[in-house]
Chain A
Amino acid sequence: MDRFTIVEIRHLNKSYRRGNQILPVLTGISLDIEEGEFLTLMGPSGSGKTTLLNLIAGIDKADSGTIKVGGIDITSLSETELAQWRALNVGFIFQFYNLIPVLTAFQNVELPLLLTGLSKKERRAHVETALRIVNLSDRMDHYPGQLSGGQQQRVAIARAIITDPAILVADEPTGDLDRISAIDVLELMERLNRELGKTIIMVTHDPRAAKKARIIMHLDKGVLNAHPQIDF
């Protein structure tokens, strides 16, 4: 079956300014990611992995070049349009889970749905489904502080998939987890990719995590290459 290109990046450049100095981070990046792909970005610290991920997810702006996601050129969207686009099309998984500590697991997962027109009853049904997928139905009334790191990351994953976005971006999702929890989270992500067809773009330093992906790209000094070889 033919799969269409969900992410299309062309001649992407991004640099940061440090005082009077301009530091190029990404140089002429071009990349296609097909729908339903599980892609890992690897590379040394400061190579621009997170920057590239942020650009694809629409939380940072490129200096030049284009990024099309699902056919929409997100580099041409305004901040407001970009916020609306993110709410519907991208699910985020962060290294430090980034849950709101004063909200329960249920309320954290429900957050993105507050921007939709769903009724309270519909929102509850969606949240319960998402928490069931991540196997945390029995923890929905717990606050992040009452959950383990692995459980918090699974709540974050439930929040990421709650609006049924086309792509999931994960920035070092196992970076703050012990080995067992990391395996759990990676297996969950693999399942989301395999069973629900989610396109996943993951940044990681961990070769074991990268192994779960079908495509591994290597970013070094702002230049993207197919990963030559990984020893697991």
Chain B
Amino acid sequence: MHILKLIFKNSFRHKLRSSLTILGVAIAILAFGLLRTVISTWYLGVETASASRLVTRNAVSLVFPLPLSYKERIRQIEGVKSVSYGTWFGGLYIDEKHFFANYAVEPKTYLGMYPELTLLPDQKAAFFRDRKSAVAGLKLAERYGWKIGDIITLKGTIFPGTWDFVLHGIYKGRDQNVDETAFFFHWEYLNEAVKKVSHSWVDQVGWYMIEITDPNLAADVSLKIDQNFKNSLAETLTETEKAFTLSFISMTEAIVIAIQLVSFVIIFIIMAVVANTMAMTARERIGEYAIFKTLGFGGFHVAGLIFGESLFITMLGSVLGIVLTFPAAKIFSKALSAYFPVFNVETETIYMDVGASLIVACVAAIFPTWRAINIRIADGLRRIG
């Protein structure tokens, strides 16, 4: 006979109560895990940002363009390896509900700068060759059943009109965290079209992507670029890709904080549920704890029984919750792929699940343990019978 066996047996003495508590913990951990995954997905762009890439945008705001002529001037700055550029197209596929990110880019330099977007050589060549062509991420193509050669029609919002693209490539992410729901086409195609309507965006780009020779030069190169265009009609703001992504996230920081708060509230609620279970359990068994103490078992043993039971019940629920998190995340990912292009449960999230469960189990056991240890044996024995 072992104390662990006793903890196991005690945990299922009140089967319904223990099962409901385990189920509650499982649901709480599942919800906590999903919310933490939403938060980590929110910051995914920051994590995947390359230290050797800079972004230069209009110093006033991202909605204002930069002249195409800046490209050569940027390229000549010391420490710059290559320059690419892009523009947010903001086209709609079918209607507003079918949202996905679509960009006009300079294909060769852009794909050269993003080796994490992998494309078959023949598809890449076809994309480079045809100005009306486009490439889409694998998840996006799967979502709409697109095949190579399909004509994809987008309705312009910033750039009015109906835009047809021939799908010449479907890219895959080199890593699990790469967004596979984006759509890229030739900036040149966009520029030629806007020229015809004398749009203010003629020969203008949304931003420049700059690859630098050494990540340590990021601050120097950024400064040089911005100094280069000081007092011009379109002053620039250059920052690392990570800082650029973070500036986007900061716009939605309130939502992230709200999600974080809700995730902690869930843990707090389940802590109260487990604490209630353990308080009821300990109150019912106060006589038994007195027997243990009578037989010579010390407070340490009694604490072990209560903490052990709390840990066992909570961790059982936690494991169940963690196991359920993966299929739930897949369902979540499919249902909300337009908003969360990548929705992977990070290892760090699992650690947080386990950490939260341990905290819940320990906090829930403190008060019942304190009560069981401090009750006089004679008083405890009087509760029996």
How near does chain B come to A42, taking the closest CB pair, in angstroms?
A: 20
Question: Counting CB contacts under 8 A, is A64 at the interface?
Answer: no
Q: B262-304 CB contact bits vs A (8 Å, 1 = yes)?
A: 0000000000000000000000000110011111111100000
CB contact under 8 A between A114 and B3, given known A87-B295, A94-B384? yes
Residue in B1, B13, B298, B376 whose beta carbon sits within 8 Å of that of A80 in the complex: B298
Residue in A84, A95, A102, A159 whose beta carbon sits within 8 Å of that of B6 in the complex: A102
Question: Counting CB contacts under 8 A, is B381 at the interface?
Answer: yes
Residue in B1, B9, B13, B287 whose beta carbon sits within 8 Å of that of A98 in the complex: B287
Q: A15-47 CB contact bits vs B (8 Å, 1 = yes)?
A: 000000000000000000000000000000000
Residues of B within 8 A of A102 (CB): 6, 9-10, 13
**Bound CA–CA A114/B384 (angstroms):** 23
How near does chain B come to A13, taking the closest CB pair, in angstroms?
A: 16
The closest CB in chain A to the CB of B373 belongs to: A79
Chain A contributes a number of interface residues (CB within 8 A of B) equal to: 31
Contact call B381/A115, Cβ cutoff below 8 A: no
**Bound CA–CA A59/B290 (angstroms):** 9
Tell me which residues from 52 to 87 in chain A have a Cβ below 8 Å from any Cβ of chain B. Answer: 54, 57, 59-60, 79-80, 83-84, 86-87
Residues of B within 8 A of A111 (CB): 1, 292, 295
Contact call A98/B296, Cβ cutoff below 8 A: no
Question: Counting CB contacts under 8 A, is B327 at the interface?
Answer: no
Contact call A60/B291, Cβ cutoff below 8 A: no
Contact call B1/A114, Cβ cutoff below 8 A: yes
Residues of A within 8 A of B3 (CB): 114
**Bound CA–CA A84/B295 (angstroms):** 9
CB contact under 8 A between A83 and B296, given known A59-B378, A60-B377, A98-B381? yes
Q: B346-385 CB contact bits vs A (8 Å, 1 = yes)?
A: 0000000000000000000000000000001110010011
Contact call A83/B293, Cβ cutoff below 8 A: yes
Contact call B296/A92, Cβ cutoff below 8 A: no
How near does chain B come to A90, taking the closest CB pair, in angstroms?
A: 9
Contact call A87/B296, Cβ cutoff below 8 A: yes
Question: Counting CB contacts under 8 A, is A103 at the interface?
Answer: yes
Residues of A within 8 A of B376 (CB): 60
Contact call B298/A98, Cβ cutoff below 8 A: no
Question: Counting CB contacts under 8 A, is A107 at the interface?
Answer: yes
Q: Name the interface size band of chain B.
A: 20 to 34
Residues of A within 8 A of B9 (CB): 102-103
Residues of B within 8 A of A88 (CB): 296
Contact call A59/B288, Cβ cutoff below 8 A: no
**Bound CA–CA A94/B382 (angstroms):** 11
Q: B1-43 CB contact bits vs A (8 Å, 1 = yes)?
A: 1010010011001000000000000000000000000000000
Contact call B294/A59, Cβ cutoff below 8 A: yes
Which of A79, A83, A94, A112 has the most chain B CB atoms closer than 10 A to its own CB? A83
Contact call B297/A100, Cβ cutoff below 8 A: no
**Bound CA–CA A111/B6 (angstroms):** 11
How near does chain B come to A197, taking the closest CB pair, in angstroms?
A: 22
Q: A89-107 CB contact bits vs B (8 Å, 1 = yes)?
A: 0001011101011110011
CB contact under 8 A between A112 and B10, given known A94-B384, A96-B384? no
**Bound CA–CA A115/B381 (angstroms):** 21
**Bound CA–CA A51/B381 (angstroms):** 12
Contact call A60/B295, Cβ cutoff below 8 A: no
Q: B289-326 CB contact bits vs A (8 Å, 1 = yes)?
A: 00111111111000000000000000000000000000
How near does chain A come to B181, taking the closest CB pair, in angstroms?
A: 54
Question: Counting CB contacts under 8 A, is A128 at the interface?
Answer: no
How near does chain A come to B19, taking the closest CB pair, in angstroms?
A: 17
**Bound CA–CA A98/B378 (angstroms):** 13
Contact call A110/B1, Cβ cutoff below 8 A: yes
How near does chain B come to A8, taking the closest CB pair, in angstroms?
A: 22
CB contact under 8 A between A107 and B384, given known A88-B296, A102-B10, A112-B296? no
Residues of A within 8 A of B10 (CB): 102
Contact call B381/A94, Cβ cutoff below 8 A: yes
Residues of A within 8 A of B293 (CB): 59, 83
Contact call A112/B295, Cβ cutoff below 8 A: yes
Task: Please give me the 5 A-B residue pairs with the lowest Cβ-Cβ distance, nearest first.
Answer: A87-B296, A102-B9, A107-B1, A96-B385, A59-B377
**Chain B residues in contact with chain A, CB under 8 A?**
1, 3, 6, 9-10, 13, 287-288, 291-299, 376-378, 381, 384-385
20 pairs, A vs B, C-beta closer than 8 Å = A60-B376, A60-B377, A60-B378, A79-B299, A83-B297, A95-B385, A98-B384, A100-B6, A100-B291, A103-B9, A110-B1, A111-B292, A111-B295, A112-B295, A114-B1, A114-B3, A115-B295, A115-B297, A159-B295, A176-B385
Apart from A94-B381, A102-B9, A107-B1, 19 more pairs, CB < 8 Å: A59-B294, A60-B377, A80-B298, A83-B293, A86-B295, A87-B296, A87-B297, A88-B296, A92-B295, A95-B385, A96-B384, A98-B291, A98-B294, A98-B384, A100-B288, A101-B13, A110-B1, A111-B1, A115-B295
**Chain A residues in contact with chain B, CB under 8 A?**
50-51, 54, 57, 59-60, 79-80, 83-84, 86-88, 92, 94-96, 98, 100-103, 106-107, 110-112, 114-115, 159, 176
